[in-house]
Amino acid sequence: MNDLIVVATITAKEGNEAIVRAALERVVPHSRAEAGCLRYDLNVDLGNHASFIMLEAWRDEEALAAHEATPHFQELVASIGGKADIQIVKLNQLV
């Protein structure tokens, strides 16, 4: 099976950019340390500094589900809830 790729776009609502960025930065090292994590990179859109793109690769759906159940991920969700719009795309690489 191919790795599970996740592209999460998190756009901070006006006035919440610093809070959202700090919360995202806090989750990165914990997520990278997870057994099923292959990649977890935080990026900022150069055209919109309120928009953050998280590029992730996970061993499989189970690894992603385990990640979503961790305390650090749950803390992230609670910290940015209502402060950002979130779009998540899940992919499998074809070639």
Whether 7 contacts 40, CB under 8 Å: no
pLDDT tens-place string over residues 22-75: 999 999 999 999 999 999 999 999 999 999 999 999 999 999 999 999 999 999
When pLDDT is averaged across residues 63-91 and rounded to a whole number, the result is 97
Query: Tokens at residue 65, please?
Result: 């589900």
The length of the chain is 95
**Beta pairing partners, 53:** 9, 43
Question: Going by C-beta distance under 8 Å and a sequence separation of 6 or more, which residues neighbour residue 60?
Answer: 1, 3, 4, 36
Predicted TM-score (pTM) of this structure: 0.93
Confidence band for 90, pLDDT divided at 50, 70 and 90: very high
Q: What whole-number distance in Å separates Cα of residue 57 and Cα of residue 7?
A: 9
Architecture of domain 4-92: 2-Layer Sandwich (3.30)
Domain residues of the chain, as ranges? 4-92
